Amino acid sequence: MKLFVLTENMAGDKFLAEHGLSYLIEHEEQTILFDTGHSDVFLKNARMMGIDISRDINTVVLSHGHWDHGDGLGYLENKTLITHPVSFIRRFRKNDDSNIGLAWSKAEIEKRFKLITSSKPYKISSNIIYLGEIPRENDYEAQTTTFIDEKGNDDFVPDDSALAIINNNELIIISGCAHSGICNISEYAKKVTGLEKIKTVIGGFHLKHNDLQTRKTIKYFKRQKIEQIYPSHCTELPALAMFYNEFKTQQVKSGMILNI
């Protein structure tokens, strides 16, 4: 499997960066765009990597309905878009009421894309699965939230999802932001696929601090004996430092190409 980092918080070489995430994934006969960041940075970086998104990509997966993962959808059309049904609600930060939802309504998206929404696992191919809604089963992830929804209720981002990719009977897990918890995601990927061995985990882990959640996540990854770990995007410096100390992780930057 090959993964192209089109958008990341950190710029690599001559590539652009923004607060957002977008990956292009090539696996077997499939080429998938996973998230779009919040501007056309993903398109510009793709062009510098010799990729024509409008020509080469038919399927887009949106990990969840936050601006930094999906506002780049405004630069695309005539694609199949796969996401959770709740991705299009209006949502805000508690501390300042700022909007963190998508710039595009469901009706607007349906005019531009063939929209497929699913809260259940959805097979894109025999070896690529959109996981749908992630069960929140452990006692250290997704316990609090700084967001509210359009009705003023706590928003725990139920639409937060990920991809599970099967390669040589091992799992590659690709996360957008892991609001549902990267360990919850990993356990659900194992349950959905029936596989126990996780080879790679890459994406936003939504870990901010040197705290209990980060420590338990590291302990989980060690117990699973995961070979390749790439925390990125919404994983902040204190947590990144802990991952580096434990796993000698590589910082993910725009323009990187990972052969997994």
Over the stretch 24-39, which tens digit does the pLDDT of each residue have?
A: 999 999 999 999 999 9
Considering the chain, what is the average pLDDT of its residues?
Answer: 97
In this predicted structure, what is the pLDDT of residue 219? 98
In this predicted structure, what is the pLDDT of residue 82? 98
In this predicted structure, what is the pLDDT of residue 194? 98
Provide, rounded to the nearest whole percent, the portion of the chain with pLDDT above 70.
100
In this predicted structure, what is the pLDDT of residue 99? 96
Over the stretch 133-170, which tens digit does the pLDDT of each residue have?
A: 999 999 999 999 999 999 999 999 999 999 999 999 99
When pLDDT is cut at 50, 70 and 90, the band that residue 59 belongs to is: very high
Provide, rounded to the nearest whole percent, the portion of the chain with pLDDT above 90.
100
In this predicted structure, what is the pLDDT of residue 215? 98
Over the stretch 101-134, which tens digit does the pLDDT of each residue have?
A: 999 999 999 999 999 999 999 999 999 999 999 9
Tell me, letter by letter, the H, E, C secondary structure of the chain: CEEEEEECCCECCCCCCCCCCEEEEEECCEEEEECCCCCCHHHHHHHHCCCCHHHHCCEEECCCCCHHHHHHHHHCCCEEEEECHHHHCCEEECCCCCECCCCCCHHHHHHHEEEEECCCCEEEECCEEECCCCCCCCCCCCCCCCEEECCCCECCCCCCCEEEEEECCEEEEEECCCCCCHHHHHHHHHHHHCCCCEEEEEEECCCCCCCHHHHHHHHHHHHHCCCEEEEECCCCHHHHHHHHHHHCCCCCCECCEEEC
Over the stretch 89-103, which tens digit does the pLDDT of each residue have?
A: 999 999 999 999 999
Domains defined along the chain, listed by start: 2-259 (3.60.15.10)
